[in-house]
Amino acid sequence: MAGLRRSTTSGALAAAVLLGLRDVLEPPPDDEPAVVVDAPGEPDDPAAPLVLRFDPESPSGTVAIVREQPR
């Protein structure tokens, strides 16, 4: 019985160490959702599935418009 208890404790300790290493080496993914809004006005190119309006002065002013494709 002592051998089983010792191996179970060792296994639990090894699992805890490996989980700690995983948290350090692989940080949790950024699950923050993207902001989705309806774009007012006419699109630049109605046939383009993606339009990027890049603002080099202000990254927060950069907008990507992704259109749903008809099925």
Query: What pLDDT digit, counting tens, does each position of 41-60 carry?
Result: 666 676 788 888 888 888 88
Chain centroid to CA 67: 21
Q: Report the domain count for the chain.
A: 1
Q: Is residue 25 part of a domain?
A: yes
Q: Tell me which residue of 41, 61, 42, 63 sits closest to 52, measured CA to CA.
A: 63
Q: Is residue 71 part of a domain?
A: no
Spatial separation of the C-alpha atoms in residues 2 and 8, rounded to whole Å: 10
DSSP 8-state assignment for residue 61: G
pLDDT value of position 33: 66
With a cut of 60, say whether residue 63 has pLDDT above it. yes
Domain containing residue 9: 2-66
Q: Is residue 27 part of a domain?
A: yes
Whether the model clears a pTM of 0.85, i.e. scores above it, the answer is no
User: Can you list the positions of beta strands (E) in the chain?
Assistant: 50-53, 63-66
